[in-house]
A and B are shown apart, each in its own frame.
Chain A
Amino acid sequence: MAKIAGGILCDDHQIADTKQCVHCGRHWQWEHGSGKVRGYCMNCGGITCGNKRCHKCIPWEKKLELYEKGKLKTLC
């Protein structure tokens, strides 16, 4: 089971969890049986959002550093 990265509350009741991509930092609402294809990075040990750009392993912290140094054009 992937780590819970966030929670959604509606009128003070928690109604859903969010998960986070280990390669781009994106959050999404976790829905069992949604049919959406996600990924798992064996190197980072966490789930990815399924975006093609996140198929290649560049850990999120590393990506931030590269971006801040101007060695990466976009963060997603």
Chain B
Amino acid sequence: MARRYSVQFDNVSNATGTYAIALVNSISTVQAARARIYDFIIGSRASVADNACTYNFQRFTAAGTSTAFTPVALDPGDAASLAASGVNATVTPTYTANAYLLNISANQRATFRWIAAPGSELVIPATTANGIGVKGTPTTAFNVDGSILFEE
């Protein structure tokens, strides 16, 4: 049975300049396990305002620079994740052109969630430094909170 993990981002700006709100990537081909993103939740605790933002899931081949976040196992009995994750990137990952996996537009007032049907997850290949990042393109930047759930 697949092991499931959570990556959380807390009070992170969705400004275009931060390049990635959150990301998940393979550490090494040795792991021989693909990470699969199956759930994404995002909302904002900032003061109420009408700001729109488009969130893009895009593939990358190098992770750039971000604040490392150790994925939390949903089952405490599971081993540590073989994948790495980060939040609030300050140096852009090397995104693959046109490799958009999911584009969503949402208002700051709404809490938004995307869930994959079993077998339809966003798959990260077991190739070193390959991963998927979530980028924000807002009309006016605001801070967001949320989680990415993945299995491997």
Query: Nearest Cβ distance between residue A37 and chain B, in whole angstroms?
Result: 16
> How far, in angstroms, from A52 to B126 measured CA to CA in the complex?
25
Chain A residues near B106 (CB-CB < 8 A): 10
Q: Quick one: given A6-B115, A8-B114, A10-B112, are A75 and B96 in contact (CB under 8 Å)? A: yes
B29 touches A68 (CB 8 A): yes
Contact string, B26-52, partner A, CB cutoff 8 A, digits 1/0? 000100001000000000000000000
A51 to B122, CA, bound (A): 17
Could you name 24 residue pairs across A and B whose Cβ atoms are closer than 8 Å? A3-B117, A3-B120, A5-B116, A7-B117, A8-B114, A9-B112, A9-B113, A10-B106, A10-B110, A12-B111, A18-B114, A25-B101, A25-B122, A25-B123, A26-B100, A27-B102, A64-B123, A64-B125, A67-B127, A68-B126, A75-B96, A75-B99, A76-B96, A76-B99
Chain A residues proximal to chain B, CB less than 8 Å: 3-12, 18, 20, 25-29, 51, 60, 64, 67-68, 74-76
Chain B residues in the interface with A (C-beta under 8 A): 29, 34, 59, 96, 98-104, 106, 110-117, 120, 122-123, 125-127
